[in-house]
Every structure is written in C-alpha cells, then in structure tokens.
Structure 1
Amino acid sequence: MHILITGASGLIGSTLVEYLFAKGHSFYILQRNKDGTSEGFWQTEQARISADEKPFDAVIHLAGENIASGRWTSRKKQRILTSRVDGTNSLAAFCNELSPAPATFICASAIGFYGNQADRWVDEQSGYGDNFVALVCRKWEQSADTAAKAGMRVVKGRIGMVLSSKGGTLPMMLPSFKLGVAGVVGNGTQYISWVELDDLVRMFEFLLHQSDIAGPVNLVSPEPVTNREFTKTLGSLLKRPTVMKMPAFAAKTIFGQMGEELILSSTRVKPSVLLDHGYDFLAPTIGEALAHCLSTTSNDTGRA
C-alpha cells in the first residue's frame, strides 16, 4: 500500500513507518504548516502532486499536541484540542478532494474517550466520559467522521497507555523503580489499559487489511491491570521494592488536572473488535509486555 501518514516523527509513528516499510509499504509523510492555521494546517501542495503520480491507498493520522508533557494550562488545553480537531478536519477535507480518495482513513484516538470508569468494563459500544480528555477524544473522532464523505472507511483507534523501552511513560518510570523508591499512586485500584508498542504497530497493520472493520477500535491488551498490579509486576521484574506511595493529593498537586485524568482515572477497557476479528496478541499479559520492554534496547520490532 501507498500510505499518507501524519505524526511520523513520534514514538508510534516512527516505529510504525519502520515496521510497515519492512513489509513492503511506501509512505508520504505529511508535515504541518508552521503557521498552524486551520485553513492551511498541512503542507498539502506536494502531497497532492504525489497523489496524482501515485494515489494513496490509506491514511494513518497520528499527529496531535503531546497530551502528557507539561501542566494543562488553558493555553495547553486549547492546543491539545485544536491540534486534533482542526488538524483532522483539514486532513479529511484534503483527502475528500483527492480522486481517487484513499480507501481507508485510520485516525488515532485514545481510551480517554471513556473517562473515569472505576472498575467497570467498557468496550467500543460504551459511551463517552465527562472529563476534558473524553471531550477531546469525542470531538477528535467526530472530525474523523468527515472523511467518510468521499466513501472512505474510517477507523478510530483508541490507544491505551503505550509501553516501550524507546519512549513514552515507561522510561520516565524506570529511574524511581530502579532506585527502589517507587510505589502505587493513589489507592492503587485504578485500572490501566495498556498496549505494548510492538503489538500496537501490528494492530495498525491489521486494521489496514481488515476491510470489514470501521468505527472505533480499542487498541489495548485484553488484560488491563490495576496500578497496584502494574507496580508490583515492574518492581518484581527489576527485583526492587515498591513500598513507597504517592497519595492522590500529591499527584494532583504535582501534575494538576493532567494527574487527575491520566494517572488517577480508572479505565478498564476490553478490545472487543480485535478479539471478535481474531487478532493474535503478542503480549496479552503485563508480565510478558514489561519483560520484553526491559530486555529491548534497540529500535527493532523483530517479534512482530
């Protein structure tokens, strides 16, 4: 396939391009305009020329303001929202103008769509939450739906917490765990729905080829764990104690609203669509996933 992709420089995007390129796919990496206006969000002139020469078979849209870097000031929250909504609207409009239009439009979203659900199971049929992240995800997905105007198959990949030795959350956690000063956050009962990076790129490949899948798809392991279980497993693999605790009020004080919605919220997600379509998970358990991450220091996704 010839794939138009955004967000190719990020952790997920760079790994996905490397993986799919090795499988024989080709890419056009779409860059954002520096001015960032919704009218000219993307550098589409060269992309249009490229599409005339070799039409795009699919679009994978991953770009968006980093949601986990820095405190959520009013300005930061606005950038988080507009980078996704305006960026997706602009990209969908561009794709709708192409002839032929790509057959598939895969837009990243997040399990934050569901909000704080305590210990309740949710899947793709569940409703959206009522916090800021849920609002962002809902509007983001609504923007992706505009790509269907040209008959494109629209898939909204709700991504869980990505585990990788190459970047993201895990490398930020490791120093405190290795020093033996890590522990549960809050009461430790909040659920973490996670996905290993190697599995995630294979999920995107799966979605490219499964033409009968459309709409929301949870891109997570089938076995979410509590914060307490995650902490115990990682500590055990590192052979370090995990007796320290971060009270909920401390997480809120240090991280603000981001801490409340991303660290203390509980989302117990089932990947029903992937399970129903027979997706074969590489690392279905947190022990397998963390063990692989800790043993991997290269950029290779050879298991996939």
Structure 2
Amino acid sequence: MTQSDSAPVRRSRFAVAGASGLIGSALTRSLRADGHDVVRLVRREPAAPDEVRWDPERGSVDAAGLSGCDAVLNFAAAGVGDHRWTDAYKKKLRDSRVLGTATLAEAVATLEQPPRVFVNGSAVGYYGDTGTRAVDESAPPGDGFLPQLCVEWEEAAAPAQEAGIRTVFARSGLVVSRGGGAWARLFPLFLAGLGGRMGDGRQYWSYIALHDEIAALRHILATDELAGPVNLTAPHPVTNGELTAAMGRVLHRPTLFTAPAPALRLVLGEMAGDVLGSTRAVPTRLLESGFTFAFPGIEETIRAARR
C-alpha cells in the first residue's frame, strides 16, 4: 500500500505497541514503506533507535519516546485462541489488554504535545452472540466473557479521551492471513483436506482481509471525523458453512469433516462458545466515511491470503 491509497502525504511519526504481532507488524511495514517514522514499544531494553521501552504490567512507559508522535496505536494483547480459557489465562487476556491500554492512555494524556489520535485495538467480540441479526457500532455490548473483556479494554482508554485526544476503538473481525491469527491454523487443515464446518455451520463469522485491515487503519489515521468505535470487518459477514465451502473452492480441497458442537466444547471448554457463537458485525462507520474495500467478498479474501 502506498500514499495514494489513504495514508497522510506528509512524513509523520507513529508509535506502535504490539508491533511484532500480525496487525502491528503489517502496519509498521506499510507506514515505513511510505517513508514514515515508526517507533516500536518493546518490553526489554531498547536495542535499536526505533524502540521505546514499556512495561504495561507495571504501568510504565518511556513517555519521552512518544513525544512528537502524530499517532499512538496499541495492538498489544494475548491471543484469545492461543490457550484454553483457564482462570489464569482469562486474567492474562484481560491484563494484557486493560493494563497496556491504561498505561498508554495515561502516558499520552500527560504529554505536552500529545498525538493527534490514539488508536486502540478492540474486537467485534464486543457484541457477543448476535445470531442472524446484523449489528454496527451503535449496538450495545453482548453478554459473556469476551464482551465484558472488550468493554473493559475500551474503557481503559478514558484518560486519552478525557485529554481531548481523538480516540478510536478498532473493533476488528477475524483477520484473514496465513501469517497469524485464526486463519494461520485453518489454512493447513484445509490444505490437508481436513477442513470442515464447526457445529451446525450457521453461525456468522465477521472477517476482514489483512490488506483491508491495514488500509482501514490508515484510513482511520487520516480521517479526523472518525472517533470512538469503528468496526473493521468486510461488509458481508458469512456463515461458518459458507466460509467452509469457500475455502474448499479456493483451495480445491474436500470439506467433508465436521467438528460437532459437543466435541468442540469438550476440547475448547468455555472458548467453544466464541467459536460456535454468531457475530454478524458490519462496518457502517467505515463505509459512511468513504472507505473502499479491496477484498469485500470471502473468496477473494481467501485468494488474497494465499499470495
């Protein structure tokens, strides 16, 4: 992606927490490709001029390293699907989001020259199980662990909002990429001919191509009227059954296997509710602000991820 897509035309300075993750690393590459300066927040002693030390668990960050940044973006968070949801891991999921967000929000609020915008990661898990009902940013939070986690995650950014900094909650859907996230696990299964629907396959999955995720984030950076929650999802969510069929067509593999709901609950525990739940989120605010998706459909999104 180049400046002609949606990026600011002048050279800017950005700070990114979670820069080693799927979204953070892709965004960092995109910004640097257009000549922008990006500082990465690290939890060790900085080993390069573009690194800034922070310790979210202790609530500390080298605020001097954030000085002069046009935007601060936070994608640091433990992976929701990386482990079974024990009480200990649920605490890790919460702390990695809430403590990190609070640390950065408080830091930017105290800067003499604060950033123009603070973009904080969030997720469409905020809405919980919506069944077949489509929801946009005006919908209230759902019930359960993930919605409550997202509420606390976003509330932790209050110091930045109260300081008058434009604050955006990037509520991402499932990012389709072979390089990380849920699809990094799905691609090998489907390529091996072991892919199939989960449960009855009627639950909606809100997805977005990695290219469009990064383009949408850059659109947010450049669009001053966008503040608060913004759904980063493709405009037409699909059911798990439709997604499974699309994976089979694109990868030219059979999709005969099925993971029954009782088996998923046995293996995944509480997390199975998220896998089997239906979230049909739509990107109303992105579309109304003039954003155009490069990969709006599921098949073209899967093809893009194969490249």
TM-score by length of 2: 0.90
1:41 aligns to 2:59 (yes or no): yes
- 1:207 maps to 220
Shift of residue 122, structure 1, vs aligned partner:
0.3
Q: 1:102 to 1:119 in 2, by over 3 A?
A: same
Partner Cα distance (1:161, 1:77) in 2: 20
Q: 1:25 aligns with which of 32, 36, 58?
A: 36
Which piece of structure 1 moves more, 83-92 or 102-111?
83-92
1:168 aligns to 2:181 (yes or no): yes
- 1:132 maps to 145
- 2:18 maps to 7
- 2:5 maps to none
Structure 1 residues without counterparts, runs of 5 or longer: 297-304
- 1:290 maps to 302
The DSSP-based 3-state class of the residue aligned with 2:94 is helix
Give runs of aligned pairs for residues 187-226 of structure 1, distance below 5 A: 187-226=200-239
In the alignment, residue 40 of structure 2 is paired with which amino acid?
I
TM-score by length of 1: 0.91
**Contact residue 103 and residue 151 of structure 1 kept, 8 A:** no
Partner Cα distance (1:195, 1:260) in 2: 21
1:233 aligns to 2:257 (yes or no): no
**Contact residue 56 and residue 103 of structure 2 kept, 8 A:** no
The DSSP-based 3-state class of the residue aligned with 1:154 is strand
**Contact residue 250 and residue 303 of structure 2 kept, 8 A:** yes
Q: 1:152 to 1:76 in 2, by over 3 A?
A: same
**Contact residue 162 and residue 194 of structure 1 kept, 8 A:** yes
Q: 1:116 aligns with which of 100, 121, 129?
A: 129
Partner Cα distance (2:188, 2:166) in 1: 43
The alignment's C-alpha RMSD in Å is 1.6
Q: 1:276 aligns with which of 285, 288, 297?
A: 288
In the alignment, residue 269 of structure 1 is paired with which amino acid?
A
**Contact residue 30 and residue 42 of structure 1 kept, 8 A:** no
- 2:90 maps to 77
The DSSP-based 3-state class of the residue aligned with 1:21 is helix
**Contact residue 137 and residue 231 of structure 2 kept, 8 A:** yes
Partner Cα distance (1:51, 1:199) in 2: 27
CA deviation vs aligned residue, 1:157-178 (integer Å, no higher than 9, x gap): 0000010122222231123222
Give runs of aligned pairs for residues 238-257 of structure 1, distance below 5 A: 238-257=251-270
- 1:92 maps to 105
Partner Cα distance (2:154, 2:44) in 1: 22
CA deviation vs aligned residue, 1:113-160 (integer Å, no higher than 9, x gap): 000111111000001011101000001011113211221000000000
Q: 1:149 aligns with which of 156, 159, 162?
A: 162
Number of aligned positions between the proteins: 288
Partner Cα distance (1:31, 1:238) in 2: 37
Partner Cα distance (2:60, 2:74) in 1: 12
The DSSP-based 3-state class of the residue aligned with 1:30 is strand
1:107 aligns to 2:125 (yes or no): no
1:185 aligns to 2:198 (yes or no): yes
Identity %: 38
Shift >6 Å, 4+ stretches: none
